[in-house]
Amino acid sequence: MARNLVIPVFIILLILLIVLTAPSARSSEPVSPRSYSETTKSGQNKKFRLVRTTGNKSDTTNFVWTSFGTVDSILGGTILYGYQERIANVKLNNYFTADDSSITFYPSINQTEDSDGTCELHAPLEAGKNWQYKLTDTAEAGIVSMTETVVVPAGTYKDCLVVETAPGIEKYYAPDIGLIKIVEKGKGYTTMSELVFVNNN
């Protein structure tokens, strides 16, 4: 009788081993665009260095994003938040919405209709995934990579998202940090914006 129980017990132990060592269901859950959004906390500064190269000539400019936090909360969990961008003496206010389906950029607080925005990220976040970048245009953005390691002056960031928003333009997003790098390659020129530092002052 004991000999007959050996095989069933072995099978039960094997099943338990497979279940315990298998990746959890959580690890296979889809990643939310919200994971790559900018902070919604007021007062954070992100300093970028922009280098434009044309032929043998390079020009360098610094610009700073300062968060003024959550502006509004919309039904369904969507939040509207804003950043002031300062380049030399020029100040621009940028606005974004973020939820589990997308991150969308708007040029001003008075231009937050769908037709005004550009969809920077759209679920599901998967390598090779494309979506309509602007509702008034047929052009698409797409995810090039979800596992990029990116080195910028502010540090090294792993598991970064690389998004091509137009031919020759790539944006790099780090988890819980947001945008850390933008590269634009055009005819005869290249521009690169890289995160220099980030703080919570």
Report whether pLDDT(76) > 80: no
Q: Rounded to whole angstroms, how far apart are CA atoms 119 and 139? A: 11
First-residue to last-residue Cα distance in the chain: 73
The residue count for the chain: 201
pLDDT digits (tens, 9 = 90+) for 25-66: 334 567 899 899 888 778 889 999 999 999 889 999 999 999
| Sole residue written with tokens 């703080």 | 199
Yes or no: is domain 2-199 CATH 2.40.360? yes
pLDDT digits (tens, 9 = 90+) for 89-103: 888 888 998 989 999
Percent of the chain at pLDDT exceeding 70: 83
Assess contact for 95 and 112: CB atoms under 8 A: yes
pLDDT of residue 162: 97
48-76 core/surface letters (b: 16 or more CB in 10 A; e: else)? bbeeeeeeeeeeeeebbbbbeeebeeeee
Summarize the confidence of residues 113-126 as an average pLDDT. 90
Domain ranges of the chain: 2-199
Summarize the confidence of residues 100-111 as an average pLDDT. 88
pLDDT of residue 77: 73
Cα 100 from chain centroid?
12
Report whether pLDDT(199) > 90: no
